[in-house]
Amino acid sequence: MQVDKNIYKPLKAKLTEVIDESPLIKTFVLVPEEDFAFKTGQFIELSVDGIGEAPFTPSSSPVITDKLEVTVMKTGYVTEFMHNLKPGVYMGIRGPYGRGYPVENFFGKEVLILGGGCGLAPIRSLLYALEHIQDKLEKVILCYGSKTAADCIYKPLFNRLNQIEKFTAYRTVDKPEEGWDGSVGVATTLLDKVKVNISNSVAVICGPPVMMKFGTIRILEMGYRDEQIYLSMEKNMSCGLGKCGHCMMGEFFVCKDGPVFTYNELKYTPDIWK
């Protein structure tokens, strides 16, 4: 317990680069004033000075501590301000908060990752973490869906992953445009392609609520047990400290008890997909 630390005070971080990922999504490269370590899947509260803050899971590698990347979809008041920021300004960071992916539980296993939309942001961080420990894994399969090809973020990531022996990455789009010769359909349709040894596998799901819901149903149908499925939940995490009450989901504070839960932990909690 850090008694003298002010848990509400943000650490300043310089915005050094803004990367356009898709029409609505940008990645912010931040250099904090102090080294900032996080575990993959944990989240931070990122603030625009004097405007507001919002929770995001960093999309960069947890191995790197002198800078971090946060991928932000323009969705509301605060994120709109973020999208207008130019390199050189300072942002605020609080955290890291919550329980990330327990990658040590993935050792010796096949990791199936199902992602949609901006859910690829936390997944990219997880992929970096898994790449770092690839010797300890059997294989890693990514199934990712976006609305259109233009909405797909981190496009170079897919080729790079497919060059790693143990990694396979699949992409699909809901609405194909002219010239698209890849898979068409929602992210779960890609699951038909994958070959996994389910008894020695874990599944990770991260994406918009509707994808989380149907993704979980599909993964359960494949034969995964409740405790093999890891969900990254999204709520209105305001304080990040398990105090303010905004992210309560049943008895859980998503900010402190999550954001990563096994489906086993949540299966009796009502309204988890809202």
Partner 1 sequence: MQYKSITKEEWDKALEQLLSLHDVFASVTSEFGQDYEPIRPASISGITYNKPRPATSLKNFFLPVRENVTGVRASEKPRIIIGIPNCDIEGLSLLDEIYLDKDFNDPFYRKRRENTLLVASDCFGIAEHCHCLSYGIKPWSSGIADLAVISLNGTIILRVISEKGEDFIKKIPVSSSSVVQDMLTAVEKEHSSTEVLLTEANKGLPDYNETGRIVREAKKGIWEKYSAKCVSCGACATICPTCTCFLLIDKPGFEKVKQLDACQYPGFERVAGGEDSLSDLHNRFRNRYMCKYVWKPQKFQSVACTGCGRCIEACIGKINKNELFMEFV
Footprint of partner 1 on this chain (CB under 8 A)? 1-10, 12, 47-54, 75-79, 92, 208-209, 234-236, 238-239, 241-248, 250-251, 256, 271, 274
Least distance in angstroms from the C-beta of 107 to partner 1: 26
Q: Which three-class secondary structure string do you get for 179-206? A: CCCCEECCHHHHHHCCCCCHHHEEEEEE
User: What's the one-letter identity of residue 81?
Assistant: F
Q: Which is nearer to partner 1, 5 or 195 (CB)?
A: 5
Least distance in angstroms from the C-beta of 60 to partner 1: 22
Q: Which is nearer to partner 1, 2 or 163 (CB)?
A: 2
Q: Which is nearer to partner 1, 67 or 99 (CB)?
A: 99
First-to-last C-alpha distance (Å) of the chain: 34
Least distance in angstroms from the C-beta of 245 to partner 1: 3
Q: Which is nearer to partner 1, 56 or 224 (CB)?
A: 56
Q: Which is nearer to partner 1, 25 or 54 (CB)?
A: 54
Instruction: Name the DSSP class of 109.
Output: S
Interatomic CA distance for residues 46 and 131, integer angstroms: 26
Strands (E), the chain: 11-22, 25-32, 43-48, 52-56, 68-73, 90-97, 110-116, 139-146, 167-173, 183-184, 201-206, 229-232, 248-249, 252-253, 260-262
Least distance in angstroms from the C-beta of 128 to partner 1: 26
Least distance in angstroms from the C-beta of 54 to partner 1: 7
Q: Which is nearer to partner 1, 7 or 63 (CB)?
A: 7
State the helix-helix crossing angle for 155-162 and 120-132, rounded to 10 degrees: 30
Least distance in angstroms from the C-beta of 268 to partner 1: 11
- Return the number of other C-beta atoms located less than 10 Å from residue 187's C-beta: 28
Least distance in angstroms from the C-beta of 251 to partner 1: 4
Annotate 169-182 with b (16+ C-beta within 10 A) or e (fewer): bbbbbeeeeeeeee
Q: Which is nearer to partner 1, 41 or 240 (CB)?
A: 240
**Strand pairing class (139-146; 183-184):** unpaired
